[in-house]
Amino acid sequence: MFNELLLLKKEKKSYFFSIILILFFPLSILLSSTFTNFSVVATCLIFLFLTFKEKDYYIFKDKFFILLLIFFIYILLNCFTSINFQNSFSRSVGFFRFIILPFALLFFIRKYNFRYAKLIFKFWTVIFIFISIDLIFEFFFGYNTFGYSNQFPGRLSSVLDDELKIGYYYFGFFLITLASISLIFKKNIYFTILSMIVFTIISLLIGERSNFLKLFTGLILFLCFWNEINFKIKLSVITLIIILISTVFTFNKDLNNRFKNQFAHYLLQNGLKSYYHISTYGAHYSAAIKIFKNYPIKGTGLKNFYFECIKDEYDDKKFLANNARCTTHPHQLHLEILSQLGLVGYLIFITLIFYFLYRSFLNYLKYKNSIHLSGFIFVFVSIFLPVPSGSFFTSFGATIFWMNIGLTLAFEKVKQNQF
C-alpha cells in the first residue's frame, strides 16, 4: 500500500486528487452530506473535464448512460409540473451528479490498467473494519470509541451518533469488502469466510431489521454465485451463521424483542395484513399509494411527499400510526418513485435497472469477477427485496447506491485475476 501511495504522488494533480477523493469515499459518507456531496461533485467535475480534454466520449455512447440521461431529463421536466417547484428543483438538478458518478468511478478505477484499484479497496477495507470494531465496542460498552451513544435499545449507530442509518452503510460496503478481502488474501480463502461470518453477526447487532435482511439475502446470493469455494463449504458457512444468529437472539433480549417478538412472532400469529395496519411503515405506504392514485402519471415531484401526505384526504384511521404517516419519504423505494415521479418516471427507472442487471449478470457469467458480483447483488437486493428502505434520492443513500453501480460497471468484462 505504501509503494502505491508513493507512486500516486507522481501522478498528474487531477488524477491524484480524484483518487484521494475516492479513497476516502467511505469516510466522507459518514462525516456529513456536505463532505459526501463535495467528494461526489468534485470527482464528477474532474472526470467531465478530463473526458472533454482527452476527447474520450465513450460515456455518451453507453446504453446505460443514455437510459440514465433520459431518467434525469424526465426528473428535470417533472419538477416543472410538481406540486412545489421550488422544493423539487434543487433535488432534481442535483440528481445529475449520480448519473455521472458511476462512469467517473469506472474511469478512475480503470485508468492505467487498474493501477490503483487494489489501493482503493485496501483503504475501503480498512475503513470498514474500523467501523466494524467501533460497532462491537458500542455493543459491549453502550457508546462507541468516540464516546457517541444513541437512546434506542437494541440499536447501534457507531460514528453517526443519533442517526440510525449505519445499517444501510454497512450493507452498502459489506459485499465490496468481502470481494476485496478475497482479492487481497487470495492464498487464504478462509480469512474471507471468517470475515463473512463476523461481519454478518455485526450487522445483526446493529439492530436494523430491513438492512440486516438485505445483507443476509445478499450474502446468500453472493455465496451461490461465488466460485472460490465448493457447495459443502458454502452450506457450512450458512449453517454456522444461522446457529450464531440463534445464539445471539437467545442471550440478547433487545435484539430478540426487535426481531422475534415485534416482527417474526407477530407476523406468524396475526398475519401480514394486521402488521401492515399497526406499523408506522403501513401508514407511510398507505399514504404513498393514495398519492400515486391522485397523481398517477407524473407524481408530486421530488421532495414533495411530506407536503402532500399531510393533507386531510390521506387521513386513515384504519392505521394505528395514522398520525405519523407523514415523513420526508414513504420508506419504500418503489412507492417513493411512484408517488413522486408517477408511472412514467417509474417505468423509465425500472427499464434502466432491468437493463443494468441483465447486462451485469451476463458479464458475471462470462468473467466471474467478485467485485462485479458484489455490486450487482447489492443493486438487485436493494431494488427487489420488499422491505422498508431509506430515501433513494438523499446524498447518503444515493451515493452508496450509485457507487455500487459504478463498481459493477468498472469491473464488467474484467477477469478475476486481470488486475
Q: What is the pLDDT of residue 111?
A: 85
Q: What is the pLDDT of residue 277?
A: 78
By the 8 A CB rule, do 174 and 362 touch?
A: no
SS3 183: helix
Quick one: cell of 272? 401480514
Q: What is the pLDDT of residue 227?
A: 87
With a CB cutoff of 8 Å and minimum separation 6, the contacts of 315 are 322
How many residues does the structure list for the chain?
419
Q: What is the pLDDT of residue 123?
A: 95
Digit-coded pLDDT (tens) for 2-23:
567 666 777 788 888 999 999 9
Q: What is the pLDDT of residue 57?
A: 83
Confidence check: pLDDT of 382 > 70: yes
H, E, C per residue of 278-340: HCHHHHHHHHHHHHHHHCCCCCCCCCCHHHHHCCHHHCCCCCCCHHHCCCCCCCCHHHHHHHH
Confidence check: pLDDT of 211 > 70: yes
Confidence of residue 256 (pLDDT cuts 50, 70, 90): confident
Mean pLDDT score, 331-358: 96
The DSSP symbol for 263 reads I
Confidence check: pLDDT of 260 > 80: no
Confidence check: pLDDT of 145 > 70: yes
For the chain, domain boundaries? 2-56+95-275+368-410
Confidence check: pLDDT of 265 > 70: no
Looking at per-residue pLDDT, the higher value among 151 and 247 belongs to 247
Q: What backbone phi and psi angles, to 5 degrees, belong to 144?
A: -90, -175
Give the pTM. Answer: 0.94
Confidence check: pLDDT of 399 > 90: yes
Confidence check: pLDDT of 290 > 80: yes
Confidence check: pLDDT of 261 > 70: no
Mean pLDDT score, 235-263: 85
> How many Å apart are CA 415 and CA 113, to the nearest integer?
13
> How many Å apart are CA 232 and CA 240, to the nearest integer?
12
> How many Å apart are CA 313 and CA 287, to the nearest integer?
9
Confidence check: pLDDT of 262 > 90: no
Q: What is the pLDDT of residue 270?
A: 66
With a CB cutoff of 8 Å and minimum separation 6, the contacts of 82 are 88, 298, 299, 300, 301, 302, 304
Confidence check: pLDDT of 269 > 90: no
Mean pLDDT of the chain: 90
Q: What is the pLDDT of residue 259?
A: 76
Mean pLDDT score, 214-227: 95
Confidence check: pLDDT of 50 > 70: yes
Measuring CA to CA, how many Å separate 122 from each of 94, 116, 261, 321?
30, 10, 40, 45
Confidence check: pLDDT of 131 > 70: yes
Q: What is the pLDDT of residue 151?
A: 78
pLDDT > 70 in the chain, percent? 95
Confidence of residue 154 (pLDDT cuts 50, 70, 90): confident
Most confident among 128-132, 223-227, 247-251 (mean pLDDT): 128-132
> How many Å apart are CA 232 and CA 222, to the nearest integer?
15
By the 8 A CB rule, do 342 and 296 touch?
A: yes
pLDDT > 90 in the chain, percent? 66
> How many Å apart are CA 392 and CA 372, to the nearest integer?
22
Digit-coded pLDDT (tens) for 81-115:
999 998 899 899 999 999 999 999 999 999 878 88
Least confident segment among 73-77, 224-228, 263-267, 365-369: 263-267
Q: How far is CA 104 from the centre of its chain?
A: 18
> How many Å apart are CA 98 and CA 91, to the nearest integer?
11
Confidence of residue 231 (pLDDT cuts 50, 70, 90): very high
Mean pLDDT score, 238-248: 94
Looking at per-residue pLDDT, the higher value among 281 and 218 belongs to 218
> How many Å apart are CA 166 and CA 142, to the nearest integer?
16
Q: What is the pLDDT of residue 199?
A: 98
What is the per-residue DSSP string for 78-106?
A: HGGGSS-HHHHHHHHHHTHHHHHHHHHHH
